[in-house]
C-alpha cells in the first residue's frame, strides 16, 4: 500500500469513475487533494460527505474546465495560494466520439483532441512550475490501452491517447533534471463496483473472451498503480507506461 502522507495532489476529472475512487483512496493514504471537474460536486453526495468530513485543509473541490487555459492557470494559482505547494497531478480528463474516419467531422476530431490531449498539455504545462518549486513531483496521466492497440471506430480517441503517451514521455525526458517524474497509466476495461455487481452474463462472457484474467477491472485496481506512481515508492520510475488491463493486450 503506497503512502501519500502529506502529498498535495491535483486530481482532474475527479468525479468520473477513476476520480471518485482516487479521492477516497488518496485521502485514506494521507494525501491533500485539490480536485476539479466540469460536473457540480452536488451531483455526488458521497464526495460531498468526504469534503465535509476532511475540510479544506485536506480536500478542496473546484468546478473547472481543464480545456480552458485561463481556468487551468486559475486552478494552479489557487493551489499555490491555498496549500503553498504541489507534489503530484493525476489527470483523468478526456472526450471521445466513437466513429470511423468517414463519419467523423473535423469539429468532433478537434473536440476530442482538445478534451483529451490539449487538456493534458495545459495541466502539465501550468503545474510544472509549482511542482518544480515544491522540490519536484510526479505527473500521472491516464491514457488507455486503445492508445496502443488499434480497435475499429475509435480513431479520435485512440489518436489522442497515443499522443498523450508520447507527450508524457517527452516531459519525463525534458524535466527529469528538475526532479519531475512523468508516467502514463494505461487502463483496460474497468467499471464502478455497482456496475460490476450487476453485470449481465453476456457482458461477463465478452470480458472472459478478450482479457487473460477474464473480467473487467475495478477502479481501485487502477488507482493502486496511480497511488504508487504518485508516491515516493516510485522514486526511480519515470517515462514509463503502466498497463493495467487484465491481459487485454496479450
Q: Is 157 marked active-site?
A: yes
Q: What single string gives the DSSP state of each residue in 124-186?
A: HHHHHHHHHHTT-EEEEEE--GGGTS--TT-HHHHHHHHHHHHHHHHHHHHHGGGTEEEEEEE
Of 157, 175, 236, 242, the catalytic one is 157
Distance CA 58, CA 54 (A): 6
Q: Let me know: does 42 contact 116? Beta carbons within 8 Å.
A: no
Dihedral sign (CA 76, 81, 82, 83): positive
Q: Let me know: does 175 contact 134? Beta carbons within 8 Å.
A: no
- C-alpha distances (whole Å) from 139 to each of 38, 183, 194 are 21, 6, 29
**Catalytic (active-site) positions:** 157
Amino acid at each position: 500500500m503506497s503512502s501519500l502522507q502529506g502529498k498535495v495532489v491535483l486530481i482532474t476529472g475527479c468525479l468520473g469513475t477513476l476520480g471518485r475512487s482516487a479521492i477516497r483512496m488518496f485521502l485514506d493514504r494521507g494525501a491533500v487533494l485539490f480536485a476539479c471537474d466540469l460536473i457540480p460536486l452536488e451531483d455526488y453526495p458521497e464526495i460531498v460527505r468526504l469534503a465535509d468530513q476532511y475540510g479544506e485543509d485536506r480536500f478542496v473541490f473546484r468546478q473547472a474546465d481543464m480545456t480552458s487555459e485561463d481556468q487551468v492557470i486559475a486552478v494552479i494559482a489557487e493551489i499555490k495560494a491555498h496549500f503553498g505547494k504541489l507534489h503530484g497531478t493525476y489527470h483523468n480528463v478526456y472526450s471521445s466520439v466513437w466513429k470511423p474516419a468517414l463519419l467523423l467531422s473535423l469539429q468532433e476530431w478537434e473536440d476530442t483532441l482538445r478534451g483529451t490531449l490539449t487538456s493534458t498539455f495545459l495541466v502539465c504545462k501550468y503545474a510544472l512550475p509549482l511542482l518544480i518549486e515544491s522540490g519536484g513531483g510526479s505527473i500521472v496521466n491516464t491514457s488507455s490501452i486503445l492508445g496502443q492497440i488499434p480497435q475499429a471506430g475509435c480513431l479520435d480517441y485512440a489518436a489522442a491517447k497515443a499522443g498523450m503517451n508520447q507527450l508524457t514521455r517527452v516531459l519525463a525526458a525534458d524535466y527529469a533534471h528538475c526532479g519531475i517524474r512523468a508516467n502514463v497509466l494505461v487502463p483496460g476495461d474497468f467499471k464502478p463496483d455497482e456496475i460490476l455487481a450487476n453485470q449481465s452474463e453476456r457482458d461477463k462472457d465478452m470480458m472472459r473472451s478478450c482479457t487473460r484474467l477474464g473480467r473487467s477491472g475495478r477502479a481501485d485496481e487502477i488507482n493502486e498503480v496511480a497511488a504508487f506512481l504518485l508516491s515516493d515508492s516510485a522514486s526511480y520510475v519515470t517515462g514509463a507506461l503502466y498497463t493495467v488491463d487484465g491481459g487485454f493486450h496479450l
